[in-house]
Structure 1
Amino acid sequence: MLILEDYLLLTLDDATGKTVVDASYREQVAAGALLVELALLGRADLAGDGDGGRVGRIVVRDASTTGNALLDEALDVVRSKEGSKPKALVGPIAKLKPAARAVASLADRGVLRREEGRVLGIFPTTRWPAADSRHEDAVRRDLWRVLVDGEEPAERTAALAAILAATGQAGRVLAAGGGRGAPVVVDGAPGWTAAQRRAVDARAKQIAADSWATLAVKAYVEEITAAIVIGATVATTSAAASG
């Protein structure tokens, strides 16, 4: 599973198939998650002193196929814009609609279930309830151990926590999961208090700030998550204005 797919599973309600977070900027988050994945795979990186004077700019370290269509298309975008700042790539990759495509792929693989319906009997809508929650349960257990129990994270868990921290969603998605799959349930979650959610959000931010990756990868991820925050702010403001 991609980090993007883990994020999407966490932010979809297993029973209703509705997103449990603001979906207005989901494609920007998805684009950022793909860029983070490329860094962890060693495909993209920030240029250093030996990379032709483009220190801090994105550079492709390995252009070979990843075996995943979404990642390969994202890597093509990176190649076409090599030398840009990482945050400049979020928008172009978001135009590929990675979140929508990843959700459809999860349904094709039997992880989610596609349910077509209509709002008010008129407007078509699609929901994505869980069909097989085993992988999501494992992801939640990992996050619980790190964000609630305070264990040190593996690299991919830390990257996912950084994305959740950037969007302020860590406490919300864990509470929405009701502690399912976790060894301990905090006060019978999902009835968490606001303070408990804030504590999880704070822990996610701490993880994002810690030295969980190489300095170059960490700097790269920090730029990507900053771009996600900007995209989220723009999307939310635009949605409010149109409402």
Structure 2
Amino acid sequence: MTTVALPEELLLLAYDDVSGKAVGSRIGLDLGMAAAVLVELALAGKVAYSDGMIVVTDATPTGEPIADDVLRRISEDSPHSPASWVQRLRHGLRDRVLADLCSRGVIRDVDETALGFIHVHRYPTVDGSVETDIRARLTKALGGGEPPDERTAALATLVAAVRMEPRLGLTGDEVREAHNQLEKIGGSAGFSGEVSLEESTIRPSVALVIATLARAIHAALGAPRP
């Protein structure tokens, strides 16, 4: 099974396996993927949240092209807030993530022509084992029991932030229950202030980055529709 980064995990959840089309809020997905790159850098010990800004703590490349490009941009730019960075990074990111997944054989690019001249791209799944693992981790986390690992807790928080619960195969009250459980996972991990960072189930430095990014996404998307 191919190992994928957090932005790729969000994208795979958002795209229909058969039609290869994105389902749900496109801007929400783009904001979520931008935040996910920053979370990856935090998990790798490359960035942190300090005095309201995302700052570089270690500029050594990770070896992942997309993450390293973002790390370079943060290193070379003046300090910006999490809200500013998710807006700056979301443009063009989806195309890079799609191209990366295609090159690794997880999805494929189907280029179709509409009205004789408009190119429409679809990205149906080729290697379904990757998304199966993602969904299994989230299902286990939603079931309670032992706390999820850092990456899964971060993914759960991002899924809740961009309101992707319906992509977990849930409807009606199940969506609300899943959202509450995902936010509970974030709370236990120290993302929402329900527990102190010292009691967080993940590293405090990482928890702080994820918490601020989740708030930035909530602010950008506004209140959910009733």
| Deviation (angstroms), 1:31 | 1.1
Contact 2:47 2:57 in 1 (8 A): yes
Output the CA distance in 1 between the equivalents of 2:127 and 2:206: 33
Output the CA distance in 1 between the equivalents of 2:24 and 2:171: 17
Q: Which amino acid aligns with 1:74?
A: V
1:226 to 192, 215, 219: 215
Output the CA distance in 1 between the equivalents of 2:113 and 2:146: 44
TM-score norm. by structure 1 comes to 0.79
| Deviation (angstroms), 1:219 | 2.0
The residue aligned with 1:189 is: none
Output the CA distance in 2 between the equivalents of 1:168 and 1:138: 20
The residue aligned with 1:188 is: none
Output the CA distance in 1 between the equivalents of 2:121 and 2:143: 33
2:147 to 125, 149, 152: 152
**Residue 117 of structure 1 aligns to a residue in which SS?**
strand
The residue aligned with 1:105 is: 100
**Residue 59 of structure 1 aligns to a residue in which SS?**
strand
The residue aligned with 1:92 is: 88
User: How many pairs align?
Assistant: 210
| Deviation (angstroms), 1:56 | 4.1
The residue aligned with 2:204 is: 215
Correspondence list, 1:191-210, <5 A: 192-210=170-188
Output the CA distance in 2 between the equivalents of 1:148 and 1:174: 13
1:153-210 Cα shifts (integer Å, max 9, x gaps): 11100000110111111x21211xxxxxxxxxxxxxxxx4411121111111111122
Identity, in percent, stands at: 31
Output the CA distance in 1 between the equivalents of 2:126 and 2:151: 24
Q: Which amino acid aligns with 2:101?
A: L
| Deviation (angstroms), 1:149 | 4.9
Question: Is there any run of 5+ residues in structure 2 with no aligned partner, and where?
Answer: 190-200
The residue aligned with 2:56 is: 60
Contact 1:77 1:89 in 2 (8 A): no
TM-score norm. by structure 2 comes to 0.84
User: How big is the alpha-carbon RMSD for the aligned residues of Structure 1 and Structure 2?
Assistant: 2.1
| Deviation (angstroms), 1:67 | 0.7
Contact 2:14 2:29 in 1 (8 A): no
Q: Does 1:116 align with 2:100?
A: no
Output the CA distance in 2 between the equivalents of 1:160 and 1:73: 21
